[in-house]
Amino acid sequence: MTALPFATDAAPLFAAAARSRRRCGLVPAAAMGLLLGYLVVVPLILMVVSSVRPGGFPLDPGFTLRHYAAAYGDPRFWSLVETTLLFGLGSTVFALLLGIGLAWLIERSDLPGRGVLRGLVLLPMATPPLLLAIAWAMLLSPRNGAINRMLMDLFGLGTAPFNIYTVPGLIFVQGLALVPTAYLFLAPAFANMDPSLEEAALTSGAGNWMLIRRVLLPILRPAILSAAVFLLIVTLVVFDIPGTLGTPGRIFVLSTRIYYLVSDSPTGMPLYGQVSALAMLFLVLLLGLGWSYHHLTRAAQRYRTVTGKGFRPRPFPLGRGRSVAFAALALYFLLSVVAPLVMLGWTSLMPYQTGITAAALKLVTLANHRDFLGNARVIAATEHSLVIAVASATAVAVLSLLLSWLTMRLKVPGTRLLDALAFIPLAIPGVMIGVALVYVYIALNPILPIYGSIWIIAVAYLTQYLPFGSRTTNGVMVQIHPEIEEAALTSGAERGRILRRITLPLVWPAVAAVWIWVAAHALRELSSALMLQGRNNGVIPTLLWDYWSGGDPTRTAAGGLWLTVALVLFLALWQAVARRAGLQRPS
């Protein structure tokens, strides 16, 4: 669309550059292939093997297809699929709509204080989903929810107006939890949009609706589709929110079924065979969605908005709409941050879980906070959590950038395979990644003794979060016209220097987004950390789980609150460092 037409006499030069590019990329591509093989193919193979082992453990003897028969022949299966799709699609659409709105307001409008808003919009990531679900249950339970009771008292209602234990309730909470992810997917794409396109459309007489439909949405299509595919798969496999809010109302989805097969099956052993068989459905779905994504965005040049021509994003003047925008943002923060945190704060001050009432005020105590902060294990767990978060976030960010560069820029042979490999872990349930890592690192223990250490958890997160990283950097890389790098190449710049001096600064917002997303998720991720827990690798989420599963929700709330505070400080520090290094656009 806005790509500069190539000068006819320069075309042979660019063609030679492209050939050289592919040759140079062969060695790093092979290295990347090996690394992805290790990180992704090994768990994948073990999962497939597990699905055909009679005992369900990959090293068990024998062959069977009965796990497939049991998983897909269950009379409840199709009902589970239906509910799962409803929940997944609803949550995805909800998160996408809010994410698009927020990304546009923060990245493209003239809203003041956008630096602060960028940090605030990520805040919900700080609350572990389990605690978010508990907080919303306490707010919107039809029996005793604080908001329901307030509305019933206020308007004299006979029944509670809201019921969180319904599919719309689940969609609402899951959607809210996913908004920061949607925002991080979309913000770099919004930030990289060349305003001249909008100006051209407006001066040609296009109205706002036509501008959105004919210009903005087509340009943003790769980022939106990327986010949609990612969010949809995530919603199909997440457990915390549907597990906590769905179970009381008998709303079961595929992830709750997987949890049942792993933890609750009365057979005494996790039914890994059936879990793996069910995961094949996710895999097929993911590959199908991945293929659709490629099909829909195959004409990559149509989405290039960052070209050799310089531009400075022009903020859209909100005018009188500014107050409406602020009100909308305030409502979002109220629902996603303030309301759950108030409930967590209240619970953390109680000796046992109880609703917000005047009578309960006499129970207020700081004992939970004292206990949490005075617990010697908190220091070690915090240290472990930070090391794992920084290591896995850095590894995912670097790997994603290199992967996108190899697959989208150098277009080395096997590009599609590399890209697919980076996306596949999304379909492998965290528990199966854990199972695979246990075997791999027990086998490697004599040469790489990380079984039971914090590093095995970091490796698990690297595998789990690579799909987010690679999708995000791909979404931005597709917007950058190769002419800029080609111009540098024909001017004699080395490839590494081009990556460092040209490509990296352009994709920096996306790389930074990947880093902070992975770090935040690594700080709160539970299932893999539990699975890989050893003698001395406890992290903050396993500590909180220890409280929660030991019947101590009030101390869990206190810990969750401090985790949120720590993450806020972490985000603030990250923003300050990024700004000082000149790596973030001024707001």
Distances (CA, A) of 166 to 180, 279, 299, 405, 465: 23, 25, 41, 44, 29
Per CB under 8 A, 57 contacts other proteins: yes
Per CB under 8 A, 547 contacts other proteins: yes
Q: Which residues of 499-518 are buried (b: 16+ CB within 10 A; e: fewer)?
A: beebbeebbbbbbbbbbbbb
DSSP three-state, residue 317 = coil
Q: Which of 112, 161, 505, 550 binds other proteins (CB under 8 A)?
A: 550
Q: With left for phi above 0 and alpha for psi between -120 and 50, is residue 352 left, alpha or beta?
A: beta
Q: Which of 194, 198, 419, 546 binds other proteins (CB under 8 A)?
A: 546
Query: Taking Cα atoms as reference points, which of 161, 533, 214 lies closest to residue 384?
Result: 533
Minimal distance, residue 363 CB to other proteins, in Å: 8
| Contact assessment for residue 509 and residue 183, using Cβ atoms and an 8 Å cutoff | no
Stretch in the footprint of other proteins (CB under 8 A) among 10-18, 215-223, 506-514, 532-540: 532-540
Tokens representing 39 are 């990180």
Per CB under 8 A, 497 contacts other proteins: no
Task: Tell me whether residue 175 or residue 434 sits nearer to other proteins (CB atom).
Answer: 434
DSSP three-state, residue 496 = helix
Minimal distance, residue 57 CB to other proteins, in Å: 6
Mark 229-258 with x for binding to other proteins (rule: CB under 8 A) and - for no binding: --------------xx--xx-x-x------
Mark 427-456 with x for binding to other proteins (rule: CB under 8 A) and - for no binding: --------x--xx--xx-x-----x-----
Minimal distance, residue 255 CB to other proteins, in Å: 13
Query: Taking Cα atoms as reference points, which of 374, 295, 324, 350 lies closest to residue 562?
Result: 374
Task: Tell me whether residue 106 or residue 262 sits nearer to other proteins (CB atom).
Answer: 262
Per CB under 8 A, 144 contacts other proteins: yes
Count of residues that interact with other proteins, criterion CB under 8 A = 53
DSSP state of 313: P
Stretch in the footprint of other proteins (CB under 8 A) among 99-107, 174-182, 318-326, 551-559: 551-559
- Binding to other proteins, residues 316-375 (CB under 8 A): 351-355, 363, 375
What distance in Å separates the CA atoms of residue 283 and residue 423, rounded to the nearest whole number? 10
DSSP three-state, residue 131 = helix
Long-range contacts of 373-382 (CB under 8 A, 24+ apart): 373/562, 375/543, 377/538, 377/543, 378/540, 378/543, 378/559, 380/536, 380/538, 381/538, 381/539, 381/540, 381/542, 381/543, 382/540, 382/566
Per CB under 8 A, 162 contacts other proteins: no
Q: Which of 136, 185, 272, 293 binds other proteins (CB under 8 A)?
A: 272
Distances (CA, A) of 159 to 145, 152, 350, 373: 12, 7, 27, 41
Per CB under 8 A, 77 contacts other proteins: no
Stretch in the footprint of other proteins (CB under 8 A) among 408-416, 479-487, 506-514, 528-536: 528-536
- Binding to other proteins, residues 122-141 (CB under 8 A): 138, 141
Minimal distance, residue 377 CB to other proteins, in Å: 7
Residues that bind other proteins (CB under 8 A): 55, 57, 59-60, 138, 141, 143-144, 243-244, 247-248, 250, 252, 262-270, 272, 351-355, 363, 375, 377, 435, 438-439, 442-443, 445, 451, 530-531, 533-535, 545-553
